Structure formats: structure tokens, C-alpha cells
Amino acid sequence: MNLTLKVWRQKNASTKGAFVTYKADGISADMSFLEMLDVVNEGLIHKGEDPIHFDHDCREGICGMCSLYINGQPHGPKRAITTCQLHMRTFHDGQTITIEPWRAGPFPVIKDLAVDRSAFDRIQRAGGYISVNTGGVPDANEIAISKVLADEAFNSATCIGCGACVAACKNASAMLFVSAKISQFALLPQGQPERYNRAMAMVEQMDKEGFGSCTNTGACEAECPKEISLTNIGRMNRDYFTAKFLKEEEEHKS
């Protein structure tokens, strides 16, 4: 099939970007979306033109590196997949495809379609862990966890940190991402000792990074390649408010 691409090109963070139109001819339906871009880039390199820069790595939907806004949707038109899992059979001959980077203040563009998502790392660093050192931990089977809870914690833990939730949200809210990590630990017994401090610290860092608030539209859940559920945001809010009260109690004591 032959396609027309409108691709966002931007040399670096400090220059202005613009859409540039390219032809993608002779594309096979079996190609992945990124393989289609590879083909276009090979053509550009042969002409001595700078190839389109995009982030990608594992190409099997788990590393969370790829991040394209395709025809107005993060990771393209299909549900529950990443861009690298999107195949060209989803498109039809003659179609025009618009490709943009994630658009969100806290995710500045680095080049073309690649953005800086280090804000996510900083939120995790603020408290997205259980404070145990290597060694000296109990036998794994000393902690019995009900299968229902373990499975639900797993569901929250499947987040790949791609940022599609932020890109999909009109407020650029990162609440789905943050709440998934908070929920994973809040559901597990290992996560209890630091549960409220964790919620507090991660939410504070999230606000500091400039992400917006949640207004319950659910676009994040609809676009999440790992189908992280909105319920996580409910859990996070509960823990955050509880944390607020706990902290206040401490202040009264002192």
C-alpha cells in the first residue's frame, strides 16, 4: 500500500518544529508501524536527509520506549497495544497518517518524535519502592498473599511507563501512572509500612513536575497499552487523603 505521512519534525528542544509530509510507498500489511518508519528512514538516508527520530527499543510492547501520537491517538487506533505492536494492516491504501510526539508540558520534545520522560523516573525515585536492602529478608513463602490481591497488584504492576496516559489526557495528568505504582504496593503486605508516606511523596513529586489534575474523563484508561484501570486512581486518592490526615495527627502530637 501507498501512504502519505505528516510527521512532526523538530531539530531539538530549543527550535520550533513543523509538520513535514512524506510518501511511504510499497508498504506491506505485515510490517509493524515502526518498520514502516524504518523503510521511510532508509529512503531519507539514501537521499542524504536526516532520518525521522523516534524512540523505540524492544519492539515487542514491553519496554515502554516507543511513544507516537498517531492520527490523534497515543499508540495509534487499536486498543491495548503499543506503537511497535501496531501493524500496517490496520491502515488502508492511500491513507494519510499524522504522527506527532507526546504533547505534554512535563514531556519536552528532544528531537522530532522523541520526548523527555524523566519526570516519571523522578516520581518513582520519590517513593516508588519498598525500603529493603539486599539480603536479610524472610523466606518468600513466609508471606502468604491471597491470590486475588496478588493478581490485582500484578495488574497494577504491568504499567510500562510509556506515558500514553499523560499524552491522552487533556490535562496532561500522570495520575494513572502514579496510582498504578502506589496501588501495587498498597495492595501487598510488603508495601504497608511505607504506604502513606509513599503516596504522599509520589503525589508531591508528580505535582512538582507540572502534571495536571484528573477530571475523570477516562481517556488514560482507554489509551493505556496495558489496560491499567481507573480504579487505581481511586486507591491513590484514598491513600493520599489518609496520608494527609495521618500527617496532621502527627503535627498535633508535636
Partner 1 sequence: MILDAKIPAGPLAEKWSKHKFNLKLVNPANKRKYNVIVVGTGLAGASAAASLAELGYNVTAFCFQDSPRRAHSIAAQGGINAAKNYRNDGDSVYRLFYDTIKGGDYRAREGNVYRLAEVSVNIIDQCVAQGVPFAREYGGLLDNRSFGGAQVSRTFYARGQTGQQLLLGAYSALNRQIHEGKVKMYTRTEMLDVVVVDGKAQGIVTRNLVTGAIETHAGHAVLLATGGYGNVFYLSTNAMGCNVTAAWRAHKRGAFFANPCYTQIHPTCIPVTGDHQSKLTLMSESLRNDGRVWAPKTVELAQKLRKGELKVTDLKEEDRDYFLERKYPSFGNLVPRDVASRNAKEVVDEGKGVGASGVAVYLDFAESIARLGEDTVRAKYGNLFDMYYQITDEDPYKVPMRIYPAVHYTMGGLWVDYNLMTTLPGLYCLGEANFSDHGANRLGASALMQGLADGYFVVPYTVGDYLATIGPKPIDTTHPAFAQTKKDVEDRIQQLIALKGTKTVDEYHRELGHIMWEYCGMARSAEGLNKAKGLIAQLKVDFWKNAIVLGENEEFNSSLEKAGRVADFIELGALMIEDALNRTESCGGHFRVESQTEEGEALRDDEHFAYVAAWEYTGEDKPEVLNKEPLVFENVKLTQRSYK
| Longest CA pairwise span in the chain (Å) | 72
Q: By CB under 8 A, is residue 137 in contact with partner 1?
A: yes
Q: By CB under 8 A, is residue 138 in contact with partner 1?
A: yes
Please report how close the Cβ of residue 8 comes to partner 1 at its closest, in angstroms.
15
Q: Point out which span in 35-43, 167-175, 211-219, 228-236 binds partner 1 (CB under 8 A).
A: 35-43
- Residues in 65-94 that interact with partner 1 by CB under 8 A: 65, 81, 85, 87, 89
Q: Point out which span in 54-62, 171-179, 215-223, 229-237 binds partner 1 (CB under 8 A).
A: 54-62
Smaller CB distance to partner 1: residue 47 or 170? 47
Considering only 1, 4, 51, 231, the residue that binds partner 1 (CB under 8 A) is: 51
- Residues in 195-254 that interact with partner 1 by CB under 8 A: none
CB atoms within 10 A of CB 162: 27
Considering only 59, 95, 171, 242, the residue that binds partner 1 (CB under 8 A) is: 59
Please report how close the Cβ of residue 7 comes to partner 1 at its closest, in angstroms.
15
Q: By CB under 8 A, is residue 62 in contact with partner 1?
A: yes
Q: By CB under 8 A, is residue 145 in contact with partner 1?
A: yes
